[in-house]
C-alpha cells in the first residue's frame, strides 16, 4: 500500500516487442496526466509515442520517479540498464520497478540512491506486515473482476468500471493487485507475490472498511481454472468478499494460454464456480456482467457474439475498449 | 526439499500448554527412532515423557539436531531460548526451526553456528528455486488428504496411510507440506510459506515423476472452505494432481475453527467441491475414503457415526488413531 512519487518518466530499456512494454502502454493509457514522457536505450524499436525526455530533464520538469515500463524475460535486472538507472537516481528520481529481483540487490543502485536520497521501490514486494484473513464482513461495497484465464482484461475492466461508476456520480476507487495496476493507482498490493498463507489477508487490507455506498473496484488476478495461479485467485476472491463479480473472457481462446491441455470452462460454468466460491465470505454475491476482450472480432462478429452471450446469460455484455462498461456500471448501481 | 540431520533432541522451551507442543508430540509419535530425548527450560510444565537429555549429552550420543518442538505465540523467537540454542550449536547440533522468524535474524545464533559449523535450518522457508506450476501430467500415483477444516488430522491420516500402504506391500512415500511433517520426513516443502504465485509449482516439485505403481501420500493443508487458507489448499490440490483424495473431518465441529461465522460444508458437498476442483489437473480423480478425528466420540457414538457416514457416502470410513486406515489403503490399491 505504498505511495509512489508521480509523475513518472517511463523507461523502455531496449524493448523490441510491443507486448514486453505492456506496463508502459498501461501507464500511458490509464494515467497520461501522471506521465512526463518516455526514455529508452539506443537499441529500442518500440515507442509509446510520447515525448522523449532524459532522466535529468524529467527531474527538472518535476518528475518524481523513473518507472520501468518493460518486463525483461525472467524478471531479472539486465546490466545494460544500470547506467540509465544510476543517472535517474543521481537526478533525484525514485526508481519504480515491478521486477521479481529487488533493486537493492544491485550495489550500484544502492550507492546512487544513498547519494541522492532517492528511493528504490519494488512494487511486487509487500512493504507492510501481513496476516491471515479474518473473514470478517467489512462495510462498503466491492466488485471484483474475475476471468476464464489470465491476461485477458481484468485490469482494464476494473479501471474502466471505476471510471464509469465515478462518471455516474458514484463514489468508487480502483484497487490494484498487480504491478501495472499499482503503478497506475500509485498504491496497492501485488497479491501474487505475498506469502501463500496471507493471500486473503492481503486482499482484506486492500479494500478496508468504507462508507456504505462506496464501491471498491478490485483488479482480479489469475483464474480459478488456471493450473498455476488458481490459489492466488481463490484467496483474492475470499479476501475481497465481493458483493458483485464481473467475468472477463477472450472468445479467441479455448484453452488456458500456454497450457493447451487445459480447456476453458463455458461462461455459464465459470460464473457458477466463481459465485459458489465467493459465497464463502459473501453469501449474497452475484455476477453483474461479462467483459469481453473482443480484439479478434470484427464489428459484425462482435455484435452477434455480444447478443448471443447476453441472451444466454441474461447479463450486460461489454468490451471496455469498444464502447465501455457503462451498462455494467449501471447494473451494479441498480 | 532439504535433508535434516537426525536423530533429534526435542526442545520444549518453557511450554505450559500441551497444544503448544504439537510438533514435539508429532515427532515422538511418528518417528520415535529418530528422537534421542527431550530438553526444556525450568519453567516448562509439559513433558513428552521421553528421557531428559542436555544438548551436550545429546551431541555425545550422536544427535544431529536440536529441534524446536513448540510453537510460541506469534511465531517469533523468544530471548529466553537463545542461551540453550547457543549451547546446542556449540555442541555441534544443527538447530531445526519451524518458526516464521528466520534463525539468522539472531546474531548470537549466527556467531555460534559459524564457530561450530552447525547449521541453522528454517523448515518454513523454501531452500530451492520455485517456479509456477506447469499442469503437466507426471508418472506414478498420488493421494492427497483434504479437509473440511484445518487442524483435524490431515497429516496424521497421510502418515498412517503411507504406513498402511507399505504394510500391504505397496511402494509408498509420505510427502510433507508443513513444518512438523517435514521434520518427521526429514524433507519436504512448507507450502503455506512459498510465494503465492508458486504454490502449485512447489506442489509439483514435491511429488516428482515416479514409477508407475508408486504412491506419493501427500499431506494436505488448509481447507477449500477456509476464509484464510483456501488459496493454499487449491494450489496444493492442483499441483499434486491426485488420483485419489481422502477427506478428513472432525464431527465435533460445525463451523471453521476460530471463524464461528463460517459453517462447514456437509461431507458430501465437501467431496463434490474437492473432486470438481481437482479434475482440472487430473480428470479421473476420485474420493477413496473418509478419515474421521473421532476423539470426542465414545465407542458407541463412534460405531454409530462411522456406519452412518459409510452408508451415506458408500466409502470406507476410518479414524487413523482408532483402528487405523487399512480399509482406505485397500480401497486405494483396489
CATH number, residue A102: 3.40.50.720
Burial code (b: 16+ CB inside 10 Å, e: under 16) for B224-242 equals bbbbbbbbbbbbbbbbbbb
- Are residues B279 and B313 both part of a single domain? yes
pLDDT of residue B101: 85
| Residue A51 lies in domain | 8-122
Same domain (yes/no): A111, A13: yes
The percent of residues in chain A predicted with pLDDT above 90, rounded, is 92
Subunit contact A196:B261, Cβ cutoff 8 A? no
Q: For residue B3, is it within any domain?
A: no
Of the partner residues B197, B232, B236, the one whose CB lies closest to the CB of residue A197:
B232
pLDDT digits (tens, 9 = 90+) for B223-282: 999 999 999 999 999 999 999 999 999 999 999 999 999 999 999 999 999 999 999 999
Q: Cell 510427502 belongs to which residue?
A: B175
Segment B161-184 shows an average pLDDT of 97
DSSP per-residue string spanning B160-216: HHHHHHHHTT--EEEE--SHHHHHHHS----GGGSBGGGHHHHHHHHS----TT-EE
Contact B317, B309 (CB under 8 A): yes
List the single best residue of B74, B231, B235 to mutate versus A (max A Cβ within 10 A): B231
Cα–Cα dist B202/B240, whole Å: 9
* Residues A111 and A174 grouped into a single domain: no
Residue A132 within any structural domain of the chain: no
**8 Å CB contact between A165 and A333:** yes
Looking at the structure, tell me whether residues A155 and A249 fall in a common domain. Answer: yes
Tell me the chain A residues in contact with residue B74 when contact means C-beta distances shorter than 8 Å.
none
Q: Which residue of B has its CA nearest to A256?
A: B135
B195 vs A135, A195, A200: nearest CB: A195
The reply to whether A95 falls in a domain is: yes
Place of cell 505450559: B16
Q: For residue B292, what pLDDT is reported?
A: 98
Count up the domains in chain A and report the number.
2
Distance, in Å, from the CA atom of B311 to the CA atom of B304, rounded to the nearest integer, reads: 11
Contact A207, A172 (CB under 8 A): no
How far A10 CA sits from the closest chain B CA (Å)? Answer: 26
User: In 10 A of CB B209, how many CB atoms?
Assistant: 10
Looking at the structure, do residues A44 and A146 belong to the same domain, yes or no?
A: no
> Are A104 and A36 in a shared domain?
yes
Residue A296 has φ and ψ, to the nearest 5°, of -90, 0
Residues B207 and B100 both lie in one domain: no
Q: Is the pLDDT of residue A225 over 60?
A: yes
Domain boundary residue, one of A61, A87, A122: A122
**Residue A129 in domain:** no
Q: Residue A13 is inside which H or E element, if any?
A: strand A8-13
The span from the first CA to the last CA of chain B, in angstroms, equals 31
pLDDT of A6 higher than 80: yes
Instruction: Note whether residue A254 is domain-resident.
Output: yes
pLDDT over threshold 80, residue A258 = yes
pLDDT digits (tens, 9 = 90+) for A193-204: 999 999 999 999
pLDDT at B110 over 70: yes
Predicted confidence band of residue A1 (pLDDT cuts 50, 70, 90): low
User: Is residue B96 located within the same domain as residue B157?
Assistant: no
Q: Are residues B100 and B198 in the same domain?
A: no
Q: Is residue A212 part of a domain?
A: yes
Let me know whether B214 and B308 are in one domain. Answer: yes
The answer to whether residue B132 sits within a structural domain is: no
Residue whose cell numbers read 457474439? A305
Closest residue in chain B to residue A197, using alpha carbons only = B192
Mean pLDDT over all residues of chain A?
Answer: 95
Rg (CA), chain B: 20
Cβ atoms of residues A66 and A11 within 8 Å: yes
Task: Examine residue A127 and state whether it is found in any structural domain, yes or no.
Answer: no
B269 neighbourhood in chain A, CB within 8 Å: none
Mutating which of A75, A125, A196, A272 best tests the B interface, going by the most B Cβ atoms within 10 A? A196
Beta strands A255-256 and A259-263 are antiparallel
CATH of the domain at B319: 3.40.50.300
Q: How far apart are CA B121 and CA B270, in angstroms?
A: 36
Distance from CA of B295 to the nearest CA of A (A): 27
pTM of the model: 0.94
| CA-to-CA dists, residue B136 to A260, B190, B201, B282, angstroms | 10, 22, 11, 10
Please say if the pLDDT value at position A257 is more than 90.
Answer: yes
- Same domain, yes or no, for B277 and B196? yes
Specify the pLDDT at position B2: 66
- Shared-domain flag, residues A100 and A152: no
Query: What are the tens digits of pLDDT across the range A94-138?
Result: 999 988 789 999 999 999 999 999 999 999 887 677 899 999 999
ipTM of the complex: 0.92
Amino acid at each position: 500500500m505504498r505511495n509512489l512519487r508521480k509523475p513518472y518518466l517511463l523507461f523502455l530499456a531496449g524493448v523490441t516487442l510491443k507486448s514486453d512494454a505492456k506496463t508502459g502502454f498501461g501507464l500511458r493509457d490509464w494515467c497520461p496526466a501522471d506521465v512526463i514522457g518516455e526514455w529508452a536505450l539506443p537499441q529500442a524499436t518500440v515507442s509509446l509515442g510520447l515525448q522523449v525526455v532524459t532522466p535529468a530533464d524529467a527531474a527538472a520538469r518535476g518528475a518524481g520517479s523513473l518507472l520501468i515500463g518493460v518486463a525483461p524475460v525472467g524478471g531479472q535486472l539486465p546490466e545494460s540498464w544500470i547506467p540509465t538507472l544510476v543517472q535517474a537516481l543521481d537526478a533525484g528520481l525514485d526508481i519504480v520497478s515491478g521486477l521479481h529481483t529487488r533493486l537493492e540487490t544491485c550495489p550500484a543502485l544502492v550507492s546512487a540512491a544513498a547519494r541522492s536520497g532517492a528511493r528504490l521501490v519494488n512494487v511486487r514486494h509487500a512493504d507492510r506486515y501481513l496476516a491471515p484473513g479474518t473473514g470478517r464482513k467489512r462495510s462498503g461495497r466491492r466488485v471484483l473482476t474475475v476471468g476464464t484465464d489470465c491476461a485477458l482484461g481484468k485490469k482494464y475492466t476494473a479501471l474502466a468500471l471505476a471510471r464509469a461508476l465515478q462518471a455516474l456520480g458514484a463514489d468508487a476507487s480502483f484497487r490494484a493487485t498487480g504491478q501495472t495496476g499499482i503503478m497506475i493507482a500509485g498504491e496497492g498490493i501485488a497479491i501474487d507475490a505475498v506469502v501463500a498463507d496471507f493471500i486473503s489477508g492481503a486482499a482484506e487490507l486492500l479494500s478496508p472498511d468504507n462508507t456504505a455506498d462506496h464501491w471498491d473496484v478490485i483488479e482480479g488476478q489469475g483464474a480459478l481454472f488456471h493450473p498455476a495461479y488458481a490459489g492466488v485467485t481463490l484467496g483474492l476472491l475470499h479476501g475481497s468478499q465481493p458483493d458483485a463479480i464481473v467475468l472477463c473472457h477472450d472468445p479467441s481462446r479455448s484453452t488456458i494460454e500456454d497450457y493447451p491441455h487445459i480447456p476453458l470452462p463455458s461462461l455459464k460454468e465459470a460464473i457458477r464456480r466463481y459465485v459458489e466460491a465467493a459465497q464463502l465470505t459473501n453469501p449474497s454475491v452475484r455476477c453483474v456482467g461479462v467483459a469481453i476482450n473482443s480484439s479478434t472480432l470484427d464489428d459484425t462478429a462482435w455484435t452477434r457474439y455480444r447478443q448471443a452471450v447476453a441472451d444466454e446469460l441474461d447479463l450486460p455484455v461489454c468490451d471496455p475498449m469498444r464502447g465501455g462498461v457503462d451498462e455494467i456500471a449501471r447494473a451494479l448501481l441498480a
